[in-house]
Amino acid sequence: MPDTLKPILLFKLDDKPPAIGSALVGFQHLLAIIGGILTAPYLIALGMGLNAEDTSYVISAALIVSGLGTLLQINRLGALGAGLLSIQGTSFAFIGSLIFVHLQLVEEMEARQALGVIFGSSAVCALIMGLLSMFVRQLKDVITTNVAGATIILIGLSLIQSTLQNLERAYLGAGGLEGDGALRVGLAAIVFTVIVIIANVKHVWLRLSAITLGLLVGVLLSLYMGLADFSGVTSAGWIFVPEPWRYPLSVDLTVVALIMPIFLVSAMESIGDITATNNLSGLETGTFDYWLRIRGGILATAVNSLVASVLCTFPSTTFSQNNGVIRLTGVCSRYVGNYVAVFLVILGCLPVVTAFFQAIPAEVIFGATLLMFILVALSGFRVVEMSAPITRDWVVVSLAILLGYLLSFYVDQVPGLPGEVVMVLEFPVSTGAMLAIVLEFVVPGRVRSQVDEPGASD
């Protein structure tokens, strides 16, 4: 990162700002991420068709895991943690894959058993990721920018498709033009537009909080339109405590094979996030200490995802939005991160927070996430572009995306394929990721990646 882009640090990594100042800056970090941290597990639960009780559980547990994971990430326990102001949260990358897996599993078992399979298989993937974190430099030669870029684009496209399908169902479910269908789609469109406008204003604090503010506008509008009812929020209970092994954990190797590529790509995104935080903290990139931070950060993310599985919620990753807050405030102190972590745990322990979020009309959530998912797809292109690609790189990316979708559409028509293989290949993101890895080695002209090159996700 050029020196001109580095912030003037008011409080460095190990400085301890005054308590009130730390809390205020921590609250800014919270505003930048809370919309995403709440939305990701909610969308997964919604897509799975979970009941209100299970949905409330996974959201609250996700908040608590985010807080505990953030404490581990920033305070560095031995080899665990990056030791930087790096915030953890449920990853959007897993939304499509986990919904797909659940819908396949519930055809043969009860929803509780399917959740147990998902959480148990995620735990295995987290353990594998923990082992691979020891070889993170070598891993970057396999999960290259082309592989990561193609996979992120596929994630974005699949989430955009899913969101549009959800909006169509909401439209038809509300009676279409004859009922409230148009009103509900209009609400989603307004939320989408508001977030786009806020994200492009000159006031940087507003831009950082665009998703959270957009959701707030959507809530107010839904109340005005009579589409929301928050009367039952206060009856949600006083305190939430997560239950280890709430669902019967078990492992399915087919599910492991399907979601493991997402774990790998999510780890590569985390390398970019941690690298950006490292640079914004005034630390050097490519040094021995830098790689210790990267390894510790990826290992901590794996441990956090393992804890999430035991507590029966979804995998965790680093959030990139916080780097914008560091740049603006000039505060990269780890002590600020402790306040963010505590805020997240407190919110997770308050059932009223989750109950309020569940009461928000789904159209408001869809309007907000549609823009987020478009940006996910665009960020995939950016990952590739920032690596100075040649024609060969775009061929790899394009083929992985195209073949990933073609295989997912037609693999069930191939005679003789085992059901487990069909299940893995029917999800275009995992299929495209695996194809991208193969194409990187097969298509001529591959240049070995520079392992000391910072990630591009920020």
Question: 100-145, pLDDT tens digit by residue?
Answer: 999 999 999 999 999 999 999 999 999 999 999 998 888 878 888 8
- The helix (H) or strand (E) run that includes residue 92 is none
* Amino acid in the structure at residue 250: S
Q: How confident is the model at residue 208 (pLDDT cuts 50, 70, 90)?
A: low
Of residues 171, 93, 185, 35, the one with CA closest to residue 373: 93
Q: Answer whether residue 416 is part of any domain.
A: no
> Mind listing the pLDDT tens digit for each residue in 138-176?
887 888 889 988 988 998 898 898 889 888 888 888 888
Q: How confident is the model at residue 457 (pLDDT cuts 50, 70, 90)?
A: very low
- Three-state SS sequence of 385-420: HCCCCCHHHHHHHHHHHHHHHHHHHHHHHCCCCCHH
As beta bridge partners, residue 316 has 90
Identify whether the C-beta of residue 139 lies closer than 8 Å to the C-beta of residue 270.
no
The torsion angles phi and psi of 213, rounded to 5 degrees, stand at -65, -35
Q: How confident is the model at residue 368 (pLDDT cuts 50, 70, 90)?
A: confident
Identify whether the C-beta of residue 187 lies closer than 8 Å to the C-beta of residue 364.
yes
- Helices and strands, number each (H, E), in the chain: 18, 2
Q: Answer whether residue 283 is part of any domain.
A: yes
Q: Answer whether residue 397 is part of any domain.
A: no
Q: Answer whether residue 220 is part of any domain.
A: yes
Of residues 249, 235, 220, the one with CA closest to residue 124: 249
The mean pLDDT value for 355-381 works out to 87
Residue with tokens 């001529």: 444
- The helix (H) or strand (E) run that includes residue 7 is none
The torsion angles phi and psi of 77, rounded to 5 degrees, stand at -100, 100
2-6, 127-131, 177-181, 333-337: which range is least confident on average?
Answer: 2-6
Q: Distance (Å, rounded) from C-alpha 347 to C-alpha 353?
A: 6
DSSP state of 289: H
Q: Answer whether residue 61 is part of any domain.
A: yes
Choice between 366 and 321, residue whose per-residue pLDDT is larger: 366
Q: Is 80 exceeded by the pLDDT of residue 234?
A: no
251-255, 260-264, 296-300, 317-321: which range is least confident on average?
Answer: 317-321
Identify whether the C-beta of residue 428 lies closer than 8 Å to the C-beta of residue 154.
yes
Identify whether the C-beta of residue 297 lies closer than 8 Å to the C-beta of residue 75.
no
Q: Distance (Å, rounded) from C-alpha 377 to C-alpha 372?
A: 9
Q: Distance (Å, rounded) from C-alpha 296 to C-alpha 313?
A: 22
Handedness of CA 293, 298, 303, 308 (dihedral sign): positive
**Other C-beta atoms lying within 10 Å of the C-beta of residue 442:** 11
The mean pLDDT value for 416-442 works out to 86
Burial of 80 (0-12, 13-18, 19+ CB in 10 A): buried
Pairing outcome for strands 316-318 and 88-90: antiparallel
As beta bridge partners, residue 118 has none
**Other C-beta atoms lying within 10 Å of the C-beta of residue 44:** 26
The pLDDT mean for the chain works out to: 86
Of residues 404, 424, 363, 429, the one with CA closest to residue 159: 429
Q: Is 70 exceeded by the pLDDT of residue 449?
A: no
Identify whether the C-beta of residue 221 lies closer than 8 Å to the C-beta of residue 43.
no
Domain that holds residue 70: 8-384
Residue with tokens 């492991």: 256
> Mind listing the pLDDT tens digit for each residue in 303-346?
999 999 999 999 988 887 777 778 777 888 888 889 999 999 99
pLDDT of residue 293: 93
- The helix (H) or strand (E) run that includes residue 317 is strand 316-318
pLDDT of residue 396: 94
Q: Answer whether residue 395 is part of any domain.
A: no
Q: Distance (Å, rounded) from C-alpha 210 to C-alpha 216?
A: 10
Choice between 137 and 439, residue whose per-residue pLDDT is larger: 439
Chain centroid to CA 11: how far? 28
Identify whether the C-beta of residue 130 lies closer than 8 Å to the C-beta of residue 354.
no
DSSP output for 129-198: HHHHGGGHHHHTTTS-HHHHHHHHHHHHHHHHHHHHHHHHHHHHHTTGGGTTHHHHHHHHHHHHHHHHHH
pLDDT of residue 362: 87
pLDDT of residue 369: 85
Q: Answer whether residue 441 is part of any domain.
A: no
- Enumerate residues 6+ apart whose C-beta is below 8 A from 110: none
pLDDT of residue 205: 66
- Total count of domains within the chain: 1
Q: Which two tokens stand for residue 32?
A: 């930048």
> Mind listing the pLDDT tens digit for each residue in 265-313?
888 888 888 888 888 888 888 888 989 999 999 999 999 999 999 999 9
Q: How confident is the model at residue 78 (pLDDT cuts 50, 70, 90)?
A: confident
pLDDT of residue 2: 43
Residue with tokens 């279409």: 176
pLDDT of residue 448: 55
DSSP output for 429-448: HHHHHHHHHHHHHHSS----
pLDDT of residue 104: 92
Q: Answer whether residue 264 is part of any domain.
A: yes
Helices 19-48 and 362-385 meet at what angle, rounded to 10? 100
pLDDT of residue 6: 58
